[in-house]
């Protein structure tokens, strides 16, 4: 996240977007926040990562809201049947349908969908630090984004471009760790990184460098 924030500050400076603490700096700081978030995205292949937990929470909240909405729809359209000898279309039972739908979304549907989705992502990616960390995939996504951009589809080009950016920024933080990153996956599972003695303190060195660079971005005129 620190590397993502510094990268976002660098892009803001490149685009001549001020990082001031007034109204003029809103766009620049929005870019920094977006970059910070995007830098965590490749770790969605790890169920216990920061981004995966937020993804799970978002799906649970969505399922809760949709459950309540479906309950309201069923009440208003009279599509409630009889269960356990109770006509759910009649008061006071009908008033409990929306909360019941929301509760099912919160406690059952949301967690099941989130768990299934994260497992599918991990399986599809080939495991942790595989496809979602592939430099080759980043190149392909970047190429697709560029092609869409040059063919007057700038809005559509944002998605693959953002994903390519996320992989590149995230890999900067992972390539300095002992595990490294499989830059050519799925063509090769070989991981690339810095030499082993340095990689044990690679994250600390990168953090220190990021703080220095970030400070320079914030203080330069």
Residue pLDDT, tens place only, 160-218: 999 999 999 999 999 999 999 999 999 999 999 999 889 999 999 999 999 999 999 88
- Measure the CA–CA gap between 61 and 53, rounded to whole angstroms: 12
What DSSP element (H or E) covers 120?
helix 110-125
- Measure the CA–CA gap between 54 and 33, rounded to whole angstroms: 16
Residue 79 has pLDDT above 80, yes or no: no
- Measure the CA–CA gap between 173 and 169, rounded to whole angstroms: 7
Maximum alpha-carbon separation in the chain: 74
Residue 82 has pLDDT above 90, yes or no: no
Residue 221 has pLDDT above 60, yes or no: no
Q: Per-domain residue ranges for the chain? A: 50-125
Give the pLDDT mean for 108-119: 96
Work out the mean pLDDT of the chain and round it to a whole number: 92
Bridge-partner residues for 192, per DSSP? 181
pLDDT of residue 141: 97
- Measure the CA–CA gap between 191 and 106, rounded to whole angstroms: 40
pLDDT of residue 84: 64
* Residue 2 CA to its chain's centroid (Å): 15
pTM for the model: 0.87
pLDDT of residue 87: 74
The torsion defined by the Cα of 202, 207, 210 and 216, in degrees rounded to 10, comes to -130
Q: Which DSSP category does 181 fall into?
A: B
Instruction: List the single range of 94-98, 120-124, 153-157 with lowest mean pLDDT.
Output: 94-98
């Amino acid at each position: 996240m620190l590397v993502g924030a510094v990268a976002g500050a660098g892009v803001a400076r490149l685009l001549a977007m001020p990082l001031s603490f007034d109204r003029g700096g809103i766009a620049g700081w929005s870019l920094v926040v977006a970059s910070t978030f995007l830098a965590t995205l490749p770790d969605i292949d790890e169920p216990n990562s920061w981004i995966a937990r937020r993804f799970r929470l978002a799906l649970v909240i969505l399922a809760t809201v949709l459950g309540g909405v479906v309950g309201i729809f069923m009440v208003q359209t009279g599509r409630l049947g009889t269960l356990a000898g109770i006509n759910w279309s009649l008061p006071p039972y009908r008033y409990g349908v929306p909360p019941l739908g929301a509760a099912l979304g919160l406690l059952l549907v949301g967690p099941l969908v989130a768990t299934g989705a994260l497992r599918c992502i991990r399986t599809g990616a080939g495991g942790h630090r595989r496809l979602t960390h592939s430099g080759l995939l980043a190149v392909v996504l970047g190429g697709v984004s560029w092609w869409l951009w040059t063919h007057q589809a700038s809005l559509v080009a944002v998605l693959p471009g953002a994903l390519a950016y996320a992989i590149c920024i995230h890999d900067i933080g992972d390539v300095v760790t002992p595990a490294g990153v499989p830059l050519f996956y799925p063509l090769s599972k070989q991981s690339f990184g810095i030499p082993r003695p340095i990689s044990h303190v690679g994250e600390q060195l990168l953090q220190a460098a990021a703080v220095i660079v970030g400070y320079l971005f914030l203080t330069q005129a």
